[in-house]
Structure 1
Amino acid sequence: MIRFVYTIILLALFVACETTKQPASKIRPGAWQMTDYLPLLSGKRVALVVNQTSRIGNTHLVDTLLARGIEVVALFAPEHGIRGQADAGEKIADSTDPQTGIPIISLYGRHRQPTPDDLDKIDIVVFDIQDVGVRFYTYISTLHLVMEACARNGKPLLVLDRPNPNGHYVAGPVLDTAYASFVGMHPIPVVYGLTIGELATMINGEGWLNSPACDLQVIKIANYTHDSSYVLPVKPSPNLPNARAVELYPSLCFFEPTVVSIGRGTTFPFQVIGYPDSTMGTFSFTPRSMPGMSKYPKHQDVTCYGQDLRQGPPTPFTLTYLVDWYQRLALDTAFFTSNNFFDKLAGSNRLRHQLQQGLSAEEIAASWQTELQAYQAKRKKYLLYPDFE
């Protein structure tokens, strides 16, 4: 009875949302294209791979589907959880959604891939998560592992595509598969210039799955090109709170396995750079414990000095910050807190060695151009939208 009443309330909310549609020229993610995918879900037992970004307007996808009579039987939770409230790297436990009573199966806890038992009573899996177009952002690794699980267990996968806020260019070193990990599974550059739907087709097409090809269908975005400007309506993870953080993320994430802070433990993560040394700049900030964002931030309760990047022109991927801070701190190997993790983020050990050799940002960037150009040619085969070139 409670489930029935809840569904009626959701239907009323959904109808209200439908009466205030956006203009036709507005970018509309795949989840909005319900006439294209509701027939594929009708009469099926559906599992969703979703988080807090999985919305149609202000309504969560699970609520929308329930209101439309779709039988949602399981929710798969990626890093940060269904509601996006867990810290980076924090394990997610299996649970039950308190509003709907639907089981939540963690893909960032005991295992990172759906098991045969998880998929046994499911007919189709729907993936709808906002990506930011950066290789070490783990939602694309979850996508890969879900694709493998679906392929091995004979389940179709439906990807509801969403715009890539960093989809207007390609940059950075291409990953050497000898360094593949959950923070980089594919031989793609740091900024790879594909939507998550396009990347899914590339993973399939290039044979990167450790399984047969996935039975994949992508529901496309309306009114989108790779030149489109798109500001995310919901923050994709706790420490990417705004467009500036999303923009700087590919450049600043390299500081994570170093002694330098990028503002975790503040309200402006991935928008500042600092270290506990007053000679590093006049701007200062003090990281604090912030459960749900950063429970144990680097240099907790210690004042850091450095750069405030919150204002300024658009800043695509650059190694300038990393090279500058490495050279100014002059700590040599003590700059890195984990060589292994740094190399995984970089996609090889080459970048770390180039920093230690004293190469400039321009010299380092020149060293990966051959691999980058080869990737750009390969990428064009999988584009679903007009390109930026």
Structure 2
Amino acid sequence: MRFNVFKNTVLLFVLATVSCASKVKNETTHNNTGEKILKQVQDDKNVVVGANRIELYLPFLKGKLVGVVANQTSVIFKETAPSSKTPPNDGYTHLVDSLLSLNINIKKVFAPEHGFRGKADAGEAVADGIDTKTKLPIVSLHGKHRKPTPESLESLDIVVFDVQDVGVRFYTYISTLHNVMEACAEANIPVLVLDRPNPNGHYIDGPTLKTKYQSFLGMHPIPLVHGMTIGEYAKMINGEQWLADGIQCDITVIPVKNYSHYIAYSLPIRPSPNLPNDQSIKLYPSLGLFEGTNVNAGRGTEFQFQRYGAPFLNPETMTFKYTPVANFGAKYPKHQNKLCYGEDLKDENLNGGMTLKWIIKAYENSIDKSKFFNTNNFTKHAGTEVLQQQIEAGLSEKDIKATWQDDLIAFKKVRKKYLIYD
């Protein structure tokens, strides 16, 4: 097995290692969001994403033939205080544009789900192409291939990975990370990870994936909410030998400055078409499970993952009504042009946790329960067949969550080894 760290990268490796080893807080307190009010960002400008720390990673790229894994979130902020109120394209420049302006020789861009510009629907195949602005070739990692081919990596000296994640197992960017690391390890190409905060990084929850249900919606035996940044997760992929045959990828992580898992971080750019704001990102771990059912989770509205509903939910108890229509990010939403009954959650205060109460309530108020689950897809999202069985059997949320605890405790012990931030 190979884990050759560049000899000229020792300083950065030490930087990440020291940060990882420092001041690990009590895990139980750290992750019990039901009992702990999260610290608010004292000043967003103190948080500096990896992409903004150009002085740390530019030496890795000078004189190299570079590939970049990127989407619309891969930006360098013009100020160190990114805000969701910043006008589009005014407060930042794209990483690719910035590197080209610095005479870095980018040969191609690899695009994850939703494409390089982040406009494709969830699950929609993305074709290879040419970026109209930079004229660089775009290699899709969510089309014919989900793992870079040996041919696509030919002539590259290094690959940069910079994609904003939201910390949920079935959000596919961490699967793309795995595939990129594996392909680069096989081709003996190092990977430079520019880290970003995880907006759901302050807690760990949900069922742990059973390996027999591995798919692109979940490749590793981790909880549904894993509480790690993309850089920390890259370290875990290596450390737990999850790549094929235990091969190791030569990775260097450029860490986020002044970041802690305790910090509530607001994403200034939507990470995918159907996560438009902070509320949708907070609710996504809970409402994302509806993706494995026949219930609409707000796709086809302007309140994606902030409401749910279906025509077969009881209108006497589920009094909120809406009609999904085709729109940006949802060409064919569930129950398109049909009246749905459900709940509006745009003002719900979850305090940054995950809950099963809505999916349980929806099932209980389903007029025809045979229409509720899309069993194969739900199992992929849950990572286990047990959760559907528990909901169908009428177990309470408290009783269901109790069955996760041994796995969560075990995962937290493993997770500690790879943390870069408190």
TM-score, length basis structure 2: 0.84
> Is structure 2 residue 49 aligned with structure 1 residue 29?
yes
1:316 Cα deviation after fit = 1.3
Q: Which of 250, 260, 267 in structure 2 is aligned with 1:215?
A: 250
Provide the secondary structure at the position in 2 that maps to 1:158: strand
Counterpart residue type for residue 265 of structure 1: G
Report the equivalent of 1:293. 329
| Counterpart-to-counterpart distance in 1, 2:264 and 2:285 | 18
The 8 Å contact of residues 197 and 218 in structure 1, kept in 2 or not, is answered as yes
Secondary structure of 2:292's match?
coil
Q: Is the 8 A contact 2:68 2:159 kept in 1?
A: yes
Partner of 1:109: 143
Could you tell me whether the CA contact under 8 Å between 2:320 and 2:342 is conserved in 1?
yes
In 1, distance between residues paired with 2:293 and 2:221? Answer: 24
1:255 to 274, 290, 299: 290
Aligned pair 1:56/2:76, yes or no?
A: yes
Residues 228 and 419, structure 2, Cα contact 8 Å, conserved in 1: yes
Inter-partner Cα distance in structure 2 for 1:162 and 1:317: 21
| Equivalent residue number for residue 267 of structure 2 | 232
1:13-92 equivalences under 5 Å are 26-57=46-77, 58-92=92-126
2:392 to 346, 353, 356: 356
What one-letter code is carried by the residue in structure 2 that aligns with 1:139?
A: Y
The amino acid that maps onto 1:215 is: D
Q: Quick one: which of 243, 253, 278 aligns to 1:243?
A: 278
1:127 counterpart (156, 161, 184): 161
> Any unmatched runs of 5+ in structure 2?
1-42, 78-91
- The question of whether the paired residues in 2 share the 8 Å contact of 1:176 and 1:187 is answered with yes
Offset of residue 284 of structure 1: 1.4
SS in 1 for 2:68: strand
Among the aligned pairs, what percent are the same residue? 54
Match of 1:267 in 2: 302
Give the match's secondary structure for 1:278.
coil
2:342–2:362 CA contact under 8 A, matched in 1 = no
Shift of 1:279: 2.1
How far, CA to CA, are the matches of 2:272 and 2:134 in structure 1? 23
* Structure 2 residue 342 is the aligned partner of structure 1 residue 306: yes
Higher relative contact order (CA closer than 8 Å, sequence separation 6+):
2
Q: Does 1:340 align with 2:391?
A: no
Take 2:368 and 2:164, find their aligned partners in 1: how far apart are those partners?
37
Over the residues paired in the alignment, what is the CA RMSD in angstroms? 1.2
- For 1:281, which of 305, 315, 318 is the aligned residue? 318
CA distance in 2 between partners of 1:351 and 1:332 (Å): 16
Q: CA deviation at 1:181?
A: 0.3
TM-score for the superposition, normalised by structure 1: 0.91
Q: Contact between 1:279 and 1:305, CA under 8 Å: does it hold in 2? A: no
Q: What is the CA deviation profile of residues 106-155 of structure 1, one whole-angstrom value per residue up to 9, with x for unaligned ones?
A: 10111101111101111000000000000000000000000000000000
The answer for unaligned runs of 5 or more in structure 1 is 1-22
On the 8 A contact 2:309/2:340 being kept in 1, the answer is: yes
Q: Indicate the residue corresponding to 1:168 in structure 2.
A: 202
Residue 345 of structure 1, CA deviation: 0.6
Amino acid at match of 1:346: A
Distance 1:270 1:206 in 2: 32
> 1 CA distance for matches of 2:279 and 2:44?
27
Are 2:182 and 1:148 aligned? yes
> In 2, distance between residues paired with 1:259 and 1:228?
35
Distance in 2, Cα, partners of 1:373 & 1:316: 17
CA distance in structure 2 between the aligned counterparts of 1:167 and 1:296, rounded to whole angstroms: 31
Q: Give the drift of 1:281.
A: 2.5
Query: CA separation in 1, counterparts of 2:315 and 2:286?
Result: 23
Q: Name the residue aligned to 1:325.
A: 362
Q: CA offsets, 1:275-309, max 9 Å, x none?
A: 2252243321110011x310011111111122110
CA deviations on 1:28-78 (whole Å, 9 max, x unpaired) are 110011111000000000000000000011100000101111000000011
Asked if structure 2 preserves the Cα contact closer than 8 Å seen for 1:25 and 1:223, the reply is no
Partner Cα separation in structure 2 for residue 45 and residue 188 of structure 1: 34
Alpha-carbon separation, structure 1, partners of 2:361 and 2:133: 49
Task: Using the TM superposition, name which of 182-191 and 252-261 deviates more.
Answer: 252-261
After TM superposition, which residue ranges in structure 1, 4 or more long, deviate above 4 angstroms? Answer: none
Structure 1 residue 102 displacement after superposition = 0.7
